[in-house]
Structure formats: structure tokens, C-alpha cells
């Protein structure tokens, strides 16, 4: 795909699906009768927490890295990331046989830092600010000549992320609502493109922590707004929308529901106890958001919640990389 192309299409997502198939898992879809009763609908969990590198990010990173020319790949790849994209890019680079350099904040979860190193990536630590991360990336790029693979503001990364929902809808075509977490918007953009490319009548929602709610405020205002804080347990949902992802979500999204950390922790606990799944806070935000939508009058959303919910709902569990000795429940 042309790197300057602003929006991938369903054709691009189908091509990505074929391209990455030898390298990533077709993750399972799981259910829970207990959670169905709690939500008042049939929930279908797309378990990207069981993906290679522990998150959906493997899909986009592999799709992007496998399309680099030999000249672009010669000096390796670089990105800044709080964790899941870093691990995914290190994995993708190892599959391509090239070096990877990951600029990670000092407060990144240990499990995510260890994952990068286990895949052979070089970790470059920095202060936990966006400015420090960008400065670190520029320094690595100047020293090594590595090619940057952005965590979400890249059409190939977005196309790869959208392949998770292609699989979900292929197996469960009766789904009429899909909800996924939103951070920089790569996963939710790919999800929306996939869903509406297959079924324009299917509704797409995003879920976002109230402590880092730039996407909800941006879509409400009709223009990009930055985070006013990053006070949330969901460390993977701290990025801000880019012009590219903002445009995609503005066109396709029904709304964004915001959830408190306590709701995210409850969702993590439910998934752990009832579905026997280890899901990180960021990955559980989709379930937290769906349960908030089910409560209707109590939810905080950018649009009126659907009432009643459709009979089948797809929930993207985006990742499972967390420090097990620091469970919040």
C-alpha cells in the first residue's frame, strides 16, 4: 500500500489478512453465559490477548514490516511505544531477520519490556513523556538509519489491525455491534473499516478510559483535542488520535463510551474469573464499555447508547500483557 494513502480499504485489509496469515494466530472467539446474562445479550469475545506477542498489535506490525523494501528494511525498524506495539514490532523484525529499536518509557510494564527483549529488540529507555519518546526515536533513527513503523498512524498498521474483525465476522456474521478500545485509533479504525466494508448496518463503538479521553472529546468537538490527563490504569490507551484516525472514526463510529478505572478492573476480574482469560486493563476496556452501554441511563457516551443491544455483540479483547504480580483485583 502507498504509505501516503490516508485510509486503507476493505481490499487492503483482505490483502493484509493473506499476507500475515503465515506469521500470526487466528485467535479464538470465546463466550460466557454468565457475562451474557450480565450484559443482556450474547457476547462474542475476539481473544487478541492470545495473539502472538500478546496483543492485536502483531497484526499491524507484521503487515507493515513485511511490505518494507529491502532498502527500507536494511537498517532495521524503530518505534516508540508503551509496550504492546514495541513487542509486536520486535517480533515482526525478528521474522523479517532485521534489527529493531524500541523507545519505551521508564514506567512501561515490566512484562512488556521483557517481551521486547525476548524477541531480540533493543530497548531504549526514556522519560514517560511524549516529547521524550519522540526525542529518543529521532536519536535512534539518526544513529542507525532505522525505518519508523508508527504504532497507529500508518495505513498498513491500521489494515493489519482490522484483520482481527475480518476473522470475527467471518465466523459470526450475525454480529450487529462491535466494540473495541481506542487509544491512538489504529485498532478502532481498522475495526470500523472492516465492519462497514462487510456490513454497513453493523454498529461500531469505541471504549475509552475517562482518565485519558481525548477521542471522546475530539469526536464531540468535531476537532482534534489532546489528553487533559493520562490518569488511568490502562497504560496501553494513553496515545492520542492522529488526523488520519480522527477522520476515519468521524466517518464510521456510532460513538465512544468512557469508563472509569474501577469499571475496567471489574471487567478484568470478570474475564479472569468467568472466562479464564488473562486480559490487561487496556484489553478489558471493550467489555467495560459494553457493560456500560448495557446500563443505558448510567453510561457516559458521545451518542445515545443502543437500546436494546443487538442479539449478538463482538467485543475485541485487545491484549493480555500485564505483570501478574501486580493484578489490580
DSSP state of 304: P
Specify if 4 maps to a domain: no
Specify if 207 maps to a domain: yes
Instruction: Please tell me the total count of domains within the chain.
Output: 2
Same domain (yes/no): 77, 202: no
Same domain (yes/no): 32, 76: no
Same domain (yes/no): 239, 113: no
Phi, then psi, of 256 in degrees rounded to 5: -125, 135
Specify if 188 maps to a domain: yes
Same domain (yes/no): 88, 38: no
* Domain end (from 94, 121, 148): 148
The partner residues of 56 in beta bridges, in order of sequence, read none
Specify if 80 maps to a domain: yes
* Domain end (from 103, 120, 148): 148
pLDDT at 5 over 90: no
Can you say whether residue 59 is alpha, beta or left, with left for phi > 0 and alpha for psi between -120 and 50 degrees?
Answer: alpha
Question: Of 29-43, 107-121, 170-184, 258-272, which range is least confident?
Answer: 107-121
Any idea what the CATH number is for the domain that residue 170 is in? 3.40.50.1100
CA dist., res. 164 & res. 29, Å (int): 10
Q: What residues have CB less than 8 Å from 131, skipping those under 6 apart? A: none
pLDDT digits (tens, 9 = 90+) for 133-150: 999 999 999 999 999 999
CB 25 within 8 A of CB 8: no
Across residues 153-172, what is the average pLDDT?
98
Q: Count CB neighbours of 21 within 10 A.
A: 12
Comparing 3 with 166, the larger pLDDT belongs to 166
pLDDT digits (tens, 9 = 90+) for 279-327: 999 999 999 999 999 997 778 999 999 999 999 999 999 999 988 877 8
**How confident is the model at residue 3, as a pLDDT?**
46
| Share above pLDDT 70 across residues of the chain, in percent, rounded to a whole number | 98
| Share above pLDDT 90 across residues of the chain, in percent, rounded to a whole number | 87
**How confident is the model at residue 109, as a pLDDT?**
85
Same domain (yes/no): 292, 233: yes
Same domain (yes/no): 168, 276: yes
Same domain (yes/no): 131, 223: no
Question: Of 125-139, 158-172, 173-187, which range is least confident?
Answer: 125-139
pLDDT digits (tens, 9 = 90+) for 40-79: 999 999 999 999 999 999 999 999 999 999 999 999 999 9
Can you say whether residue 116 is alpha, beta or left, with left for phi > 0 and alpha for psi between -120 and 50 degrees?
Answer: alpha
3-state secondary structure of 30: strand
* Domain end (from 121, 148, 175): 148
Same domain (yes/no): 107, 30: no
pLDDT band at 177 (very low <50, low <70, confident <90, very high): very high
Across residues 256-274, what is the average pLDDT?
97
Same domain (yes/no): 252, 177: yes
Residue 175's domain spans which residues? 10-55+154-326
**How confident is the model at residue 1, as a pLDDT?**
53
Specify if 1 maps to a domain: no
Amino acid at each position: 500500500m502507498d504509505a501516503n494513502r490516508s485510509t486503507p480499504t476493505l481490499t487492503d485489509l483482505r490483502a493484509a489478512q493473506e499476507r500475515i496469515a503465515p506469521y500470526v494466530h487466528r485467535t479464538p472467539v470465546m463466550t460466557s453465559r454468565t457475562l451474557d446474562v450480565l450484559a443482556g445479550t450474547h457476547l462474542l469475545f475476539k481473544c487478541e490477548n492470545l495473539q502472538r506477542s500478546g496483543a492485536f498489535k502483531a497484526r499491524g506490525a507484521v503487515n507493515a514490516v513485511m511490505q518494507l523494501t529491502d532498502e527500507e528494511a536494511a537498517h532495521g525498524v524503530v518505534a516508540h511505544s508503551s509496550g504492546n506495539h514495541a513487542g509486536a514490532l520486535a517480533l515482526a523484525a525478528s521474522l523479517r531477520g532485521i534489527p529493531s529499536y524500541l523507545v519505551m518509557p521508564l514506567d512501561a510494564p515490566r512484562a512488556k519490556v521483557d517481551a521486547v527483549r525476548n524477541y531480540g529488540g533493543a530497548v531504549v529507555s526514556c522519560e514517560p513523556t511524549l516529547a521524550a519518546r519522540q526525542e529518543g526515536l529521532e536519536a535512534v533513527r539518526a544513529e542507525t538509519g532505522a525505518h519508523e513503523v508508527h504504532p497507529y498512524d500508518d495505513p498498513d498498521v491500521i489494515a493489519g489491525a482490522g484483520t482481527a474483525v475480518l476473522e470475527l465476522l467471518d465466523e459470526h456474521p450475525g454480529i450487529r455491534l462491535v466494540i473495541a478500545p481506542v487509544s491512538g485509533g489504529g485498532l478502532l479504525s481498522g475495526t470500523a473499516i472492516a465492519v462497514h466494508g462487510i456490513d454497513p448496518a453493523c454498529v461500531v463503538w469505541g471504549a475509552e478510559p475517562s482518565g485519558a479521553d481525548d477521542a471522546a472529546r475530539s469526536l464531540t468537538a468535531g476537532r482534534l483535542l489532546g489528553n487533559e490527563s493520562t490518569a488511568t490504569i490502562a497504560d496501553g490507551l494513553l496515545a492520542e488520535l492522529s488526523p488520519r484516525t480522527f477522520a476515519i472514526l468521524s466517518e464510521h463510529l456510532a460513538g465512544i463510551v468512557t469508563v472509569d478505572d474501577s469499571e475496567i478492573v471489574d471487567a478484568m476480574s470478570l474475564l479472569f474469573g468467568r472466562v479464564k482469560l488473562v486480559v490487561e486493563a487496556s484489553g478489558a476496556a471493550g467489555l467495560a464499555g459494553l457493560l456500560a452501554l448495557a446500563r443505558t441511563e448510567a453510561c457516559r457516551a458521545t451518542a445515545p447508547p443502543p437500546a436494546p443491544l443487538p442479539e449478538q455483540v463482538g467485543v475485541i479483547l485487545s491484549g493480555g500483557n500485564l505483570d501478574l504480580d501486580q493484578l489490580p483485583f
